[in-house]
Amino acid sequence: MDWLQIVEILVFPGLTFFVWVGFIFDWLDRKTQARMQGRRGPILAGPYGFFQPVADFFKLTSKEEIIPEIADRFVFLLGPPLFFAAPAIGTIFIPVLGAAAIVSNDYDLLFILFILAFTALMATIIGYAAGGRWSIIAIGRLVVQYTGYEVPLVVALVTPALLARSLSIGGIVAAQQNVWFIVLAPISFVVFIISALAELEKPPFDIPSAKTEIVGGWMTEFSGRPLAYIKLTKDLSYAFLSALAVSLFLGGPLGPVLFADPTLQSVLYFIYWIIKLFAIGFLIFVIKTALARVRIDQAARLFWMVITPLSLIQLGVIMILGIHGW
C-alpha cells in the first residue's frame, strides 16, 4: 500500500469525502424539510446555514459526556466508533471516479451486506449497553424492524448482482454501461429505497428513535462525543446507502464518454456520480418529510406481507427471464 492509496482511502474519494457528503446530506435534508414545512431551516452557521451539521458535530464533541451508572461502560464508550466504522469501511467499496472502487474484490457486495447487518447489530448492542428504559424499548422496536426490512433489502441487493452475474460492485456498475438496472428491476429499486428508509430510521420508519414517543430512542442516554459519533454515523450511512443505490441501480459514475483523456473523463464521471447521488438523496428527503410515522406492527406487516413478496417477485421475474436468455 503506497501513500496515494492511503490518501484515496482516507481523503478522496474515501472517508473524508463521504463524511462531507454526509454533512451536506444532513444540511440539505434539514433545508428540504424546512421548506416543505414553511420554515427556513438552518441559517446561522455559514452561508444559508451550510456548516450547521459541522457546527453541531463539534458542539457535541466539546460537551460533557455522562456515562449512566447502570451502563456497560466499555461498550457504551467503544460502541459509537465501531458503529461509525461500518459505513466508513463501506465507502471505500463504492466506485466514484470510474467503474473501479478504491478497494474491490469479486464478492464485495456480500461484504456490504455484512456491513449493513453489522450496523444494525451495533445499534442494538450500544443501545442495550446504555441500559435506560427508553433505550430498551427502542432496541426492541429496532430488532423487530430489522427482521422485517433485512430480507427484502438483501433480495433487492441480490437482484442487480443476478442481472450483472457478478457479486462485485465494480462488476455490477460495469454491467450497466448500456442500460441502468433501475429500468430492468424497478421494483427492486423501490424496495431498496423503502428498506433504506428503515435502515436509516427515517420516517415513516423512524419507530426506534421516535422522539414524541420514546424520547431519543436507543440514543437517549448518550451525550457529548458518543452522541456526536452516532449522529455522524447516521449522516454517513445516509450518504453510503444513497451511493450504494447509485452503484447498483443508476450505473454508478458511468455515463456518456466525452473526453479521450482519462483524467478529464474521471472528472466527468465524478460529476455524473454527484448528480445521481443527490437525486437519490433528494428523493429520500422528500419521502421522509412527506410521510408520517407508522406503528411497529404496521411496519412489520408492511415488510413481511408486501415488500418481501414484491422483492421476491422481482427476483423471480429476473431469474425466469435469465433462464430464457433474455
Partner 1 sequence: MTNFDIMVIAGPLLIIVVDLFAYWFFGRLGKRSVGKGNKFQPFTGGEQDIAPRGTYSSELFVFATLFMVAEAFVLLLSASFASQSYFYPLLFLAGGSGVILIVTWWLMIVGGMRP
The residues of the shown chain that bind partner 1, judged by CB under 8 A, are 1, 5-6, 9-10, 14-15, 61-73, 75, 80-81, 84-85, 88-89, 92, 102-103, 105-107, 110-111, 113-114, 117-118, 120-121, 124-125, 128-136, 139-140, 143-144, 146-147, 150, 167, 215, 220-221, 224-225, 228-229
- Report the distance separating Cα 237 and Cα 240, nearest Å: 5
The nearest distance, CB 9 to partner 1, in angstroms, is: 5
Residue (184 or 198) nearer to partner 1, CB: 198
- Tell me the three cell numbers of residue 58: 463539534
Residue (139 or 193) nearer to partner 1, CB: 139
Residue (264 or 319) nearer to partner 1, CB: 319
Cα separations in angstroms, 76 against 80, 86, 140, 203, 228: 7, 17, 18, 26, 13
- Tell me the three cell numbers of residue 219: 440514543
Length of the chain: 326
The phi, psi pair for 46, rounded to 5°, reads 80, 175
Our measurement of the distance from residue 11's CA atom to the centroid of its chain's CA atoms, rounded to an integer in Å, reads 19
The nearest distance, CB 144 to partner 1, in angstroms, is: 7
Task: Tell me which DSSP letter residue 303 carries.
Answer: I
The nearest distance, CB 5 to partner 1, in angstroms, is: 7
Peptide bond into 87 cis (omega under 30): no
The nearest distance, CB 299 to partner 1, in angstroms, is: 14
Residue (71 or 174) nearer to partner 1, CB: 71
Residue (224 or 255) nearer to partner 1, CB: 224
**Count of Cβ atoms closer than 10 Å to residue 257 Cβ:** 10
Residue (69 or 261) nearer to partner 1, CB: 69
Q: Residue 225 carries which side chain, given as an amino acid letter?
A: R
- Report the distance separating Cα 243 and Cα 251, nearest Å: 11
The answer to whether 207 touches 295, Cβ cutoff 8 Å, is yes
Residue (31 or 225) nearer to partner 1, CB: 225
- Report the distance separating Cα 217 and Cα 140, nearest Å: 10
